[in-house]
Chain A
C-alpha cells in the first residue's frame, strides 16, 4: 500500500525524538534507546532503575493518546503483514537488537549523534538488510 510522503511532519516529529534524547541525557545521563530501556525492564534487581524505565515507556505509550486529545483521532497503524510474520519478525528483531546492542533509536539517533563508529556501522547494516528483506518479500516473492 502507498503512504504519503510527509517531509515536514517527519522532520518535526524527528526533532521531538531528538529533543527527548537530549533531555534524557541531560537530566538522567542515559541513551534513549528502546532496546536498552525495554531490556532493562526485563531485569528486576534495581527497583529505582526499573521505575525510571517504566515511566519512560508509559510516557511513550501516552504519546498517541495525547495526540488523540489534540487531533481528535488516534494515529493510523496499517500493517500489511500477516500475524505469523509479525511474530516471526518480532522474535528476529529481539535476537538481533540484543546481539547488535541497540536499534534505530539507540544506534541510529543517539549513537550517530555521538559519532560512535559502532553505531554508524550498525545503522548502515540494519538499513541495508531491511531494504534487502523488503525487496525480496515484495519483488521476488511477490508480497505476502
Chain B
C-alpha cells in the first residue's frame, strides 16, 4: 500500500511534468531566454503548483502526522548562508547549460531518450562528487 501510494504520487508528478511541457528542455531554456525566444510557460507551471501546494500544505499541517508514517520529515534549518546561495547559483548555471533539472529529468527517463540518461548519469556523478567534497567541507542534508 505504501509503495503503491508512492508510485501513484510519482505518476501524478510525472504526468504534471509531461502535461506542463516541462519535460522538454527546449521549453525550459526558452523561459530563461527573455531576450530571445521567450516562452513564459514555466511561470504558469510554478503558479499552478503553488496554487495547490500553499492551501494544500496548510490543511496537511493541521494534522499531527502524515497518514502512513510516524511524523513529518521537514528541513529544520532556517539559516540563509553562503552555501545555500552559492549552491543554488551553481545549480542555475548547470540548468542554463543543460536545460534539464532533476525534477524534469526523472519523468523524462520514461521517454527512453538517450540524452536523458546522459544527463542523469552526469547528475548522479555531480551528487556523488559533492558528497566527497562535503566530507571535507561538512554541509547540511538536501531537502
Binding site for B on A (CB under 8 A): 1-7, 9-39, 42, 51-53, 55-67, 74-81, 83, 85-114, 116-119, 121-123, 125-135, 137-139
The distance in angstroms between the C-alpha atoms of A55 and B41, with both chains bound, is 29
The distance in angstroms between the C-alpha atoms of A118 and B80, with both chains bound, is 6
Q: How many Å from the CB of A98 to the closest CB on chain B?
A: 3
How many residues of chain B have a CB within 8 Å of chain A?
122
Which chain A residues border B5 with CB–CB below 8 Å?
23, 27-28
Which chain B residues border A131 with CB–CB below 8 Å?
32, 34, 92, 96
Q: Are B92 and A133 in contact (CB under 8 A)?
A: yes
Q: Are B129 and A134 in contact (CB under 8 A)?
A: no
Which chain A residues border B129 with CB–CB below 8 Å?
91, 94-95
Q: How many Å from the CB of A20 to the closest CB on chain B?
A: 4
Interface hub of A15, A33, A111 (most chain B Cβ within 10 A):
A15
Q: Are B95 and A89 in contact (CB under 8 A)?
A: yes
* Residues of B91-107 contacting chain A, CB below 8 A: 91-107
Which chain A residues border B84 with CB–CB below 8 Å?
99-101, 118, 121-122
Q: Are A64 and B19 in contact (CB under 8 A)?
A: no
Q: How many Å from the CB of A10 to the closest CB on chain B?
A: 4
Q: Are B69 and A29 in contact (CB under 8 A)?
A: yes
Interface string of B73-100 (1 = CB under 8 A from A): 1110111100111111111111111111
Q: Are A92 and B6 in contact (CB under 8 A)?
A: no
The distance in angstroms between the C-alpha atoms of A106 and B141, with both chains bound, is 13
Which chain A residues border B35 with CB–CB below 8 Å?
135, 138-139
